[in-house]
């Protein structure tokens, strides 16, 4: 598999960079908002595990259609506010830049697939001087369905004319794993030792703890 590797797809938050987006709090905040309109998501403790932001938006979209409400734009405002806050004190590990240079020397393309908005993502990549390393960036505006849907991966495969076994996907959460599994692309989990693969019905091909470890795997 490693011999045929032509491209790596990276998730963004807490994979390539360490952002501080409080996803559980964001989803609870979203659910509170929909609650005011009469759309309920059940107990607050369970919301972060049960729903993705995309799930909540999808349900709100059908709700808007049925009721003529405008929940979805308000939900996006909540998402953008949390993203903005989380990106303020974003950091990057020292080994990311050397990993990207290694991939360049191995002639392996590096691409990005994120559920975040495009502009703030590109801004962060520029801030860390790594934007030019990415041959393709797919953000939430580029797809109809975000991760855990496989649409973003399929789009990268199609645009770059690649077969699933020429690609690996690196991410830190179950939504990344699910998208990769559905697309037939091997999934590499980075950090997140507590991720329960069984609970989410996902398959993890390899588990790494740093980008330096990724370079080691690919070198072999
Ligand atoms: Mg992530």
Q: How far is the CA of 65 from the centre of ligand 1 (A)?
A: 31
Q: How far is the CA of 169 from the centre of ligand 1 (A)?
A: 12
Distance 86 CA to ligand 1 centre (A): 12
Token output for 147: 């991760």
CA 172 to ligand 1 center in whole angstroms: 5
Beta-carbon neighbour count of residue 109 at 10 Å? 20
Q: Which tens digit of pLDDT belongs to each residue from 146-182? A: 999 999 999 999 999 999 999 999 999 999 999 999 9
Q: pLDDT at position 89, please? A: 85
174 C-alpha to center of ligand 1: Å?
A: 9
Distance 176 CA to ligand 1 centre (A): 7
Q: Give how far Cα 33 sits from Cα of 28, 64, 79, 100, 176, Å.
A: 9, 13, 12, 40, 26
Which band of pLDDT confidence, cut at 50, 70 and 90, is reported for residue 3? confident
Confidence of residue 48 (pLDDT cuts 50, 70, 90): very high
Determine contact, residues 53/149, Cβ cutoff 8 Å. Answer: no
Q: Are 110 and 117 spatial neighbours (Cβ–Cβ below 8 Å)?
A: no
152 CA to centre of ligand 1 in angstroms: 14
C-alpha 36 – ligand 1 centre gap (Å): 29
Mean pLDDT (whole number) for 104-125: 95
Q: Is the pLDDT of residue 72 over 60?
A: yes
Query: What residues are neighbours of ligand 1 (ion), with CB under 5 Å?
Result: 11, 13-14, 172-173
Separation of CA 66 and ligand 1 centre (Å): 33
Domain boundaries, the chain: 2-19+90-219, 23-88
CA 1 to chain centre: 23
pLDDT, tens digit, for every residue of 133-155?
999 999 999 999 999 999 999 99
pTM: 0.90
Q: What is the distance in A from the centroid of ligand 1 to the CA of 68?
A: 33
Q: How far is the CA of 20 from the centre of ligand 1 (A)?
A: 11
> What class is the 2-19+90-219 domain?
alpha beta
* pLDDT for residue 7: 98
Between the CA of 123 and the centroid of ligand 1 the distance, in Å, is 17
> What is the dihedral sign for C-alpha 33, 36, 38, 43?
positive
């Amino acid at each position: 598999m490693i011999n045929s590797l032509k491209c790596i797809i990276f998730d963004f938050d807490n994979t390539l960079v360490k952002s501080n987006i409080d996803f559980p709090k964001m989803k609870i905040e979203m659910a509170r908002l929909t609650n005011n309109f009469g759309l309920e998501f059940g107990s607050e403790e369970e919301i972060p595990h049960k729903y993705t932001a995309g799930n909540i938006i999808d349900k709100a979209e059908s709700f808007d259609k049925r009721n003529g409400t405008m929940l979805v734009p308000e939900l996006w405002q909540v998402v953008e506010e949390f993203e903005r806050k989380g990106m303020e004190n974003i950091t990057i590990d020292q080994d990311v830049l050397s990993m990207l240079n290694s991939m360049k020397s191995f002639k392996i393309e590096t691409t990005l697939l994120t559920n975040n908005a495009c502009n703030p993502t590109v801004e962060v990549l520029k801030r860390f001087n790594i934007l030019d390393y990415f041959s393709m960036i797919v953000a939430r505006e580029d797809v109809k369905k975000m991760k855990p849907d496989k649409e973003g991966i399929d789009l990268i495969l199609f645009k770059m004319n690649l077969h699933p076994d020429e690609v690996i996907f690196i991410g830190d959460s179950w939504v990344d794993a699910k998208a990769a599994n559905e697309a037939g692309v091997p999934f590499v989990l980075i950090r997140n030792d507590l991720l329960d693969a069984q609970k989410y019905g996902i398959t993890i091909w390899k588990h790494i703890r740093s980008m330096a470890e990724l370079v080691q795997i690919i070198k072999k």
